[in-house]
Amino acid sequence: MKRCAKRHLNHGMLSALIAVMSLHGVAVAHSSSVSGTPTSAQSSMPGHSASVSIAVDADAEPVPTAEQIREWNKPIKGWHPIRRLMRPVWKLRRNALQIEKKLEEIQNPVNQIQPALVSLDDKISGVNENMNQMEDKLAGLSGNIPSLTSHISEIQSHMDQLGQGVKDVGMVRKELRDVIQMRQEIRQLDKQIAQLKEPLQEIQSPVASISTPIKSMNSELVNLNDNVAVTSGQLNQVVSEVTAMRAEMKEMKLAMQQLKQPVNSISSPVLAVHNDLKELNDVLLMAVRTVLFGALALLTGMVALALKYRERLVKLVARNSFGG
């Protein structure tokens, strides 16, 4: 019984040692396949892994069944020193075989991924070269930035002046609308007064009581005409300022054309500013045309209103005359 236990123990220890050696051989082969260079163990012991695998196949015990595995995994009861010594060796051997199988499964994917890693290294070196070229170009661009900054500051000053001029033009547009509306009202009142002169002469006595308000209205109209004359002078001044602004815009255009060569890299913003100025000019012309057409429409409407209320005014005058 003791001899059988000793022989079983020696056989298990020998199997565990062979499994560990086979695991070492597989690990060495795996490292040599990944790095692509032979190791000292392989160079000193050629054919080591093959011989070990043969020994394992020849000396290995048959694969344990599920019942044997359950029996080995059961807790050991009582005093069984041989079983207590053999169980760690058996577990170590089983783990070594599992690790060996996993290494064999991993070896093919590692061999397949190695060319991809080599190509990735080549691509990274190409990216490094591109980064160096970009760094040189950025250094050249940094040298041109101060001159571009100075030109941009000059253009910014001109743009600020242009913005202030646009704000002034906007205020002038509002004043022009008010003045045009006042002119239309004055013209309508003048026409209405001219149309009412003959009927008023006929009904002078009935309307003697309302002559004083009409005189005060006439004085107000005279004052309004004076204000219109003053506003016309202001409009002429605004027109002169707009003309001067256009001259400045032409000068700015010439200056921008002179700056075209040193600022080729910022040509698109300059073209955008030129297009904005052109659009602004078109908008101003459209606004002036709109104001003129609006004034014409307002004049037509006032004439229509005068013709409409003329009959009512005649009826009112006739009623007052009959009442007198």
Instruction: State pLDDT tens for residues 72-96.
Output: 777 877 787 887 788 888 888 888 8
The pLDDT value recorded for residue 18 is 53
Comparison of pLDDT for 217 and 105, the residue scoring more: 105
Q: Is 203 helix (H, G, I), strand (E, B) or coil?
A: coil
Residue 9 scores a pLDDT above 50: no
- Give Dmax (Cα) for the chain: 159
* Global model pTM greater than 0.75: no
Among 3-7, 120-124, 312-316, the range scoring the smallest mean pLDDT is 3-7
Residue 92 CA to residue 73 CA, distance in Å, equals: 13
Comparison of pLDDT for 280 and 68, the residue scoring more: 280
Averaged pLDDT for residues 42-59:
37
Residues 280, 166 contacting (CB under 8 angstroms):
yes
Residue 224 scores a pLDDT above 80: no
The pLDDT value recorded for residue 24 is 46
Enter the tokens of residue 190: 């003048």
- Mean pLDDT value across the chain: 72
Comparison of pLDDT for 169 and 3, the residue scoring more: 169
Residues 55, 128 contacting (CB under 8 angstroms):
no
